[in-house]
C-alpha cells in the first residue's frame, strides 16, 4: 500500500498522491486511489448504491387507474435523483404494431388475433427492457401495462428471474366512478386512439374497453402472492398495502408513491429580488436586495395577492435576499436551509472575470461539465439535487406553494418538474423578477412565465462558443455509476447528447483557452 518511508524528510517531499495514495478528480473533487487507472476496479463508489441489480417496476391495474401517470411521474423522479430509469408503455408498442385503432373489440378477451398481437407487443417491450439494462446502463425499467392476469405476471417474473432483475409490482385499484371519469377526460380523450372520435363516442368505447379487462382481472392476492414485492394503491392514495420491500430503491419508491397526490394545485417558483451582489456581477454571498429587488418584492406581494391562492405556503432559503423578498408578501413563510444557493466555495462573491483570473482551470472544467463540476470547497449541481430531494418530496405532499429561491436551486427544481436532463439543467433560464407558475396537467406540467415588470440584471451565463475549430479537451471522466438523465424518449441516444458534448467543436471549454473565450458569455454587470 502506501508504506510510510521511515525517513520522514524524504517522505514529506513526496508528492501528495504518493503520500496519501489518493488523488482528487479535478472535476468533481472526489478522492480516488491514484493508481485506480491501472487497477481493475475502483473500490470506492462516490454515490450511495441504491441497488445491486436492475429493477423492473411492473404496473398492474384496469385501464384508467393512473398506471401511466404513476409510471411517468416515478420515472421522472428516479431520473432526477440520479437513477437511470425508463418507461416501457406496452400500449405504445400496440399502437406502432396496429397503426390504427378501430374500437374496443380489439380488447375483447375472445379476440384471438388481437391477443396474439398484444402478447407479441409485451414480449417486444420486455426485449427492449433487457437491452436497456444490458447496453444502455439503465437501472430501473417501468413496465407500464395492465398486467391484470396471473399468467401475464408469471411471464414477466420468469423473464426477470432469467435475467437477474428484481421485480416490484405497483397495483392501482380504484372503484370510484368520478375518479375514473376524470381520468378518461384528462388523458384518454386526447389519446391517439381517439383522434377522430367525438367525446361521447370515445368515453363510451373506453368504458367498454375497461369491461373487457374486468372479466379476466385478478388483483395481486394477499395469500397467493405473499412472496412477491409490491405496493397496492387504493383510491388514489387513501390506503396502501406494502409487501416485502427488498432494498433501498424499493423503499424510496414506496415513500415517493405514498407522498404524491392528484389534487389540483399550483407551484410558483421564483428567485429572490435582484441583490446588491447581483448588480456587481458577483456570485454567491449573502447580500440584501437592491432598490430594484425591493421593488420586485413589492410587486411579487401584489401579484400573489391578486392570484387569490387558497392556503398558500411560502418557502424561502436561509439567505437574506430570499427572506427579504418573502417579507414583502406579508404572510407566514418557512425558511429551508436546503434551499440555499449552491456553495461556490473558494469562488464565493467573485465575479466571473475574477474566477477566470484566479482559477482559469476551474472555470474551464465547469464549462466542460457544469452538472458534475464541484467548486473547490463548494458544491456541484449534482450535490444540490441531493440536498433538494426532501424539498421535492415535501412539494409533492403540499398543495399551493410559492418557493422563493436562487438561480441554481430553481434550475434544479424546474428540471424535476419539467423532466430536464443533467445536461440541460444547469443552463435552464431562470431570470430574476420572473415567476414560473407550474400547474400539473395530464401527464406533465404546464408552465406559465410571469415577468413582474421590474428591470434586473441578467445573471444567466451560457456555455461559451468560439470560432476556433480545434479544441483539445480533457475527456469527461467515466465512473462506474451511470449518469443521471431525464426520462429518455424511445429513440434518444444516451449520455453524450445530454451533456451537450456533440457540439464540442464549436465550444471552447478547453483548459488552455484564452481569457476572452472564457468570458465571452458572461452577462453584463457593474
Distance from C-alpha of 254 to C-alpha of 176, rounded to nearest angstrom:
23
Residue pair 429/361 in contact (Cβ under 8 Å)? The answer is no
Q: How far is the CB of 321 from another protein (least distance, A)?
A: 9
Distance from C-alpha of 144 to C-alpha of 156, rounded to nearest angstrom:
12
Under rule CB under 8 A, residue 186 binds another protein: no
Residue pair 138/85 in contact (Cβ under 8 Å)? The answer is yes
User: How many residues bind another protein, per CB under 8 A?
Assistant: 70
Distance from C-alpha of 479 to C-alpha of 264, rounded to nearest angstrom:
41
Residues 293-322 interacting with another protein (rule: CB under 8 A):
294, 297-298, 301-302, 305-306, 316, 318-320
Residue pair 397/410 in contact (Cβ under 8 Å)? The answer is no
Under rule CB under 8 A, residue 451 binds another protein: no
Residue pair 171/231 in contact (Cβ under 8 Å)? The answer is yes
Which residues are CB-neighbours of 430 under 8 A, at least 6 positions away?
269, 271, 407, 410, 411, 414, 436, 460
- Burial class of residue 177, CB neighbours in 10 A (0-12, 13-18, 19+): exposed
Nearer to another protein, 241 or 465 (CB): 241
**What Å distances lie between residue 392 and 336, 403, 409, 413, 429, CA to CA?**
12, 11, 11, 7, 20
Nearer to another protein, 73 or 94 (CB): 73
Could you tell me the three cell numbers for 462? Answer: 451560457
Catalytic residue among 28, 121, 171, 174: 174
Nearer to another protein, 304 or 486 (CB): 304
Nearer to another protein, 16 or 96 (CB): 16
Q: How far is the CB of 520 from another protein (least distance, A)?
A: 31
Under rule CB under 8 A, residue 334 binds another protein: yes
Under rule CB under 8 A, residue 474 binds another protein: no
The answer to whether 341 is a known catalytic residue is: yes
Residue pair 269/405 in contact (Cβ under 8 Å)? The answer is yes
Q: Write the binding mask 48 to 77 for another protein: x where contact by CB under 8 A, - elsewhere.
A: xx----------------------------
Q: How far from chain centre, in Å, is Cα 219?
A: 31
Residues 7-26 interacting with another protein (rule: CB under 8 A):
8, 16, 19-22, 24
Q: How far is the CB of 214 from another protein (least distance, A)?
A: 22
Under rule CB under 8 A, residue 503 binds another protein: no
The answer to whether 248 is a known catalytic residue is: no
By DSSP bridging, strand 267-271 and strand 401-405 are parallel
Task: Report which of 468, 477, 474 is spatially closest to residue 505, judged by C-alpha positions.
Answer: 468
Under rule CB under 8 A, residue 81 binds another protein: no
Annotate 492-526 with DSSP letters as a single string.
PPPTTTTTTGGGGGG----TT--HHHHTTTPPP--
Binding another protein by CB under 8 A: which of 97, 241, 442, 496?
A: 241
Catalytic residue among 28, 121, 144, 367: 144
Residues 218-237 interacting with another protein (rule: CB under 8 A):
226
Task: Report which of 337, 331, 333, 332 is spatially closest to residue 318, judged by C-alpha positions.
Answer: 337
Could you tell me the three cell numbers for 125? Answer: 417491450
Nearer to another protein, 182 or 394 (CB): 394
Q: How far from chain centre, in Å, is Cα 390?
A: 13
Under rule CB under 8 A, residue 262 binds another protein: no
Under rule CB under 8 A, residue 258 binds another protein: yes
Q: Write the binding mask 364 to 403 for another protein: x where contact by CB under 8 A, - elsewhere.
A: -------------x-----x--xx------x--x------
Nearer to another protein, 135 or 238 (CB): 238
SS3 labels along 471-482: CCCCCCCCCCCC
Under rule CB under 8 A, residue 255 binds another protein: yes
Nearer to another protein, 33 or 84 (CB): 33
Nearer to another protein, 370 or 387 (CB): 387
Distance from C-alpha of 519 to C-alpha of 463, rounded to nearest angstrom:
10
The answer to whether 357 is a known catalytic residue is: no
Catalytic residue among 171, 225, 341, 382: 341
Under rule CB under 8 A, residue 194 binds another protein: no
The answer to whether 174 is a known catalytic residue is: yes
**What Å distances lie between residue 273 and 296, 306, 321, 454, CA to CA?**
6, 19, 7, 9
The residues assigned a catalytic role are 144, 174, 272, 341
Residues that bind another protein (CB under 8 A): 1-2, 4, 8, 16, 19-22, 24, 29-31, 33, 43-49, 226, 238-245, 248, 251, 254-255, 258-259, 288, 294, 297-298, 301-302, 305-306, 316, 318-320, 323-324, 326-338, 348, 377, 383, 386-387, 394, 397
Amino acid at each position: 500500500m502506501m508504506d510510510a518511508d521511515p525517513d520522514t524528510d524524504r517522505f514529506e517531499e513526496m508528492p501528495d498522491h504518493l503520500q496519501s495514495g489518493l488523488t482528487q478528480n479535478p472535476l468533481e473533487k472526489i478522492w480516488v486511489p491514484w493508481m485506480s487507472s491501472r487497477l481493475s476496479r475502483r473500490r470506492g463508489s462516490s454515490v450511495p448504491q441504491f441497488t445491486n441489480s436492475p429493477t423492473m417496476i411492473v404496473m398492474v391495474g384496469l385501464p384508467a387507474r393512473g398506471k401511466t401517470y404513476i409510471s411517468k411521474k416515478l420515472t421522472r423522479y428516479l431520473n432526477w435523483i440520479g437513477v437511470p430509469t425508463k418507461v416501457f408503455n406496452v400500449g405504445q408498442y400496440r399502437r406502432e404494431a396496429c397503426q390504427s385503432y378501430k374500437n374496443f373489440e380489439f380488447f375483447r378477451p375472445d379476440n384471438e388475433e388481437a391477443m396474439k398481437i398484444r402478447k407479441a407487443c409485451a414480449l417486444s417491450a420486455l426485449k427492449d427492457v433487457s437491452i436497456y439494462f444490458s447496453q444502455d446502463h439503465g437501472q430501473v425499467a417501468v413496465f407500464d401495462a395492465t398486467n391484470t392476469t396471473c399468467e401475464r405476471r408469471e411471464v414477466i417474473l420468469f423473464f426477470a428471474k432469467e435475467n437477474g432483475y428484481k421485480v416490484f409490482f405497483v397495483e392501482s385499484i380504484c372503484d370510484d366512478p368520478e375518479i375514473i371519469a376524470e381520468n378518461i377526460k384528462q388523458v384518454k380523450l386526447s389519446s391517439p386512439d381517439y383522434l377522430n372520435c367525438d367525446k361521447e363516442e370515445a368515453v363510451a368505447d373506453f368504458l367498454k374497453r375497461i369491461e373487457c379487462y374486468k372479466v379476466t382481472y385478478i388483483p395481486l392476492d394477499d395469500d397467493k402472492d405473499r412472496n412477491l414485492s409490491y405496493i397496492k394503491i387504493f383510491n388514489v392514495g387513501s390506503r396502501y398495502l406494502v409487501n416485502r420491500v427488498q432494498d433501498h430503491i424499493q423503499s424510496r419508491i414506496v415513500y415517493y408513491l405514498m407522498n404524491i397526490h392528484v389534487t389540483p394545485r399550483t407551484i410558483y417558483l421564483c428567485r429572490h429580488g435582484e441583490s446588491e451582489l447581483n448588480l456587481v456581477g458577483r456570485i454567491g454571498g449573502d447580500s440584501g436586495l437592491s432598490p430594484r429587488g425591493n421593488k420586485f418584492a413589492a410587486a411579487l406581494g401584489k401579484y400573489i395577492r391578486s392570484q387569490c391562492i387558497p392556503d398558500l405556503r411560502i418557502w424561502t432559503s436561509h439567505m437574506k435576499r430570499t427572506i427579504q423578498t418573502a417579507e414583502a408578501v406579508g404572510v407566514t413563510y418557512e425558511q429551508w436551509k436546503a434551499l440555499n444557493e449552491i456553495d461556490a466555495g473558494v469562488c464565493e462573491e467573485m465575479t466571473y472575470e475574477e474566477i477566470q483570473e484566479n482559477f482559469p482551470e476551474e472555470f474551464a472544467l465547469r464549462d466542460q461539465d457544469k452538472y458534475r463540476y464541484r467548486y473547490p470547497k463548494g458544491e456541484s449541481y449534482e450535490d444540490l439535487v441531493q440536498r433538494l430531494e426532501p424539498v421535492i418530496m415535501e412539494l409533492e405532499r403540499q398543495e399551493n406553494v410559492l418557493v422563493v429561491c436562487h438561480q441554481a436551486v430553481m434550475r434544479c427544481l424546474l428540471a424535476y418538474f419539467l423532466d430536464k436532463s443533467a445536461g440541460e439543467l444547469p443552463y435552464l433560464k431562470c431570470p430574476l423578477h420572473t415567476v414560473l407558475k407550474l400547474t400539473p396537467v395530464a401527464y406533465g406540467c404546464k408552465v406559465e412565465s410571469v415577468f413582474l415588470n421590474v428591470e434586473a440584471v441578467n445573471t444567466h451565463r451560457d456555455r461559451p462558443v468560439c470560432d476556433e475549430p480545434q479544441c483539445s479537451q480533457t475527456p469527461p471522466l467515466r465512473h462506474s455509476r451511470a449518469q443521471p438523465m431525464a426520462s429518455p424518449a424511445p429513440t434518444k441516444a444516451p449520455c453524450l447528447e445530454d451533456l451537450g458534448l456533440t457540439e464540442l467543436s464549436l465550444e471552447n471549454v478547453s483548459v488552455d483557452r484564452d481569457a476572452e473565450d472564457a468570458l465571452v458569455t458572461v452577462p453584463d454587470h457593474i
